Amino acid sequence: MAVIKNNKTGMWEERTYYKDLTGARKQKTKRGFAKKSEALEWERNFKLKEDQSISMNFKSFVDIYLTYLEPRIKRNTFLTKKHIIETKKMQSLIAVACKLIRVFYMILTKGKSYDASKMLEDIKRPVTTKTRAA
């Protein structure tokens, strides 16, 4: 909760306290911020991630997911999943959001019931064309 300027280096550092999974109080220090606002933003994101709040940003959610996933699968599988998330996250997030908006609209305006299998059938996959050199 303290943002301090290090006079020796001219950089900002942030110290905050949180409770870990066992309930013990821990201190987290992060150094090397060029601006005070960067340190405050890091603290805000750290607190949201630790509280596992629903208002956390997508990057924090992905970090939690990857931390959870890494020890449970093989290394190459993990690296593949991480690469897919890093390169496709914005596209997939937009596609999911658009689909959810359509589903909510249909449920609210037409009184239809939610069918998960039908929703998965409706997802359009991008068509990739491979050109062969002749």
Does an H or E element contain 22, and which? none
Alpha helix segments (H runs only) across the chain:
36-51, 58-69, 75-110, 116-122
Average pLDDT over residues 107-119: 70
The pair of structure tokens assigned to 34 is 């060029």
The pLDDT of residue 84: 78
The pLDDT of residue 119: 59
Q: Which one, of 16, 6, 22, lies nearest residue 48 by Cα?
A: 16
The pLDDT of residue 96: 61
Q: What does the pLDDT look like over 21-60, one tens digit per residue?
A: 677 888 888 989 999 998 888 888 788 777 765 566 677 6
Percent of the chain whose pLDDT exceeds 70: 66
The pLDDT of residue 110: 76
Q: What does the pLDDT look like over 7-17, one tens digit per residue?
A: 888 999 999 88
Q: Is the alpha carbon torsion for 82, 94, 53, 55 positive or negative?
A: positive
Asked whether the predicted pLDDT for residue 6 surpasses 80, the reply is yes
User: What is the average pLDDT value for the chain, to the nearest integer?
Assistant: 76
Q: What is the pTM of this model?
A: 0.43
The pLDDT of residue 23: 77
